[in-house]
Amino acid sequence: MQTAIMIFDGLTALDAIGPYEVLAQLPGSEVRFCSKEAGPKRTDSKALALTADYALAEVDSPDVVVIPGGEGNRPLLRDQEVLSWLRDVDAETRWTTSVCTGSLVLGAAGLLEGKRATSHWLYREALREFGAEPVAERVVADGKLITAAGVSSGIDMALELVRREHGDELAQSVQLAIEYDPQPPFDAGSPEKAPAEIVEAVSAFARRNWPSVA
């Protein structure tokens, strides 16, 4: 099974690495990190580069495509080369997926029209602009489209993909291999669960520092 993970300058690293770590464990798995142009791509914090070994043109029939989020993906919403590539590969994928604001790129490519989908909680409502029905769930599957919520949710999304594609036993084996037995010190990982003042503080920070959709 070949997985294409499309990266770009300004990506959020965990959006890409969560699904990568799950999917790379599968027997016979090949993961190709790709980008408009091959080479190192800086993350949103600027502290790290991940290398795209492949240009998009070199990845033309992946079984799975993963689109991560991060402030750097906003220019992709108007990048016809990227959107056209995405439509072309989606026509043949078994699974087309996104993490965090990666779903905005799927939306801009026209792939969310009439679909149930999700995104980072701060950007979920923006999915309506692309004809999607926003869903406040961590992993949302609609046919072969699987979108995930913010940043860390790509791990859960990829495990769900493995469960659907390969069955319960392999999904459990991967979960155990990466020891995914989450025990965060607080139950504050969603706006429904976090204290109201924390939700407001993060929302205010994001309004000041994170780019809007357009």
By CB under 8 A, name the binding residues for a second copy.
Answer: 12-14, 17-18, 20-21, 24, 30-33, 40, 43, 45, 47-51, 53, 100, 120-121, 138-139, 149-153, 155-156, 159-160, 163, 168-169, 171-173, 175-191, 193-195, 198-199, 201-202, 205-206
Alpha helix stretches (DSSP H) within 134-211: 153-166, 168-177, 196-209
What's the rounded Cα separation, in Å, for the pair 157 and 66? 10
Nearer to a second copy, 87 or 193 (CB): 193
Spot the catalytic one: 56, 100, 139, 158: 100
CA distance 11 to 23: 19
Separation of alpha carbons 189 and 22, rounded Å: 21
CB of 110 to a second copy, least distance (A): 26
Nearer to a second copy, 113 or 177 (CB): 177
> Which residues make beta-bridge pairs with 54?
34
CB of 78 vs a second copy, minimal distance in Å: 26
| Cβ neighbours for 210, distance < 8 A, ≥ 6 positions apart | 71, 122
Packing angle, helices 153-166 and 13-23, rounded to 10 = 30
Closest CB to a second copy among residues 91, 168:
168
Find the angle CA(124)-CA(126)-CA(131) to the nearest 5 degrees.
Answer: 105
Q: Counting beta carbons within 10 angstroms of the beta carbon of residue 43, is it exposed (0 to 12), middle (13 to 18) or buried (19 or more)? A: buried
The total of other beta-carbon atoms located within 10 Å of residue 173's CB is 14
Give the Cα separation of 22 and 27 in Å (integer).
11
Which of 57, 136 has the CB closer to a second copy? 136
- Annotation says 100 is catalytic: yes
101/109 with CB nearer a second copy? 101
Least distance between a second copy and beta carbon 143 (Å): 18
Question: Which sequence positions are flagged as catalytic?
Answer: 100
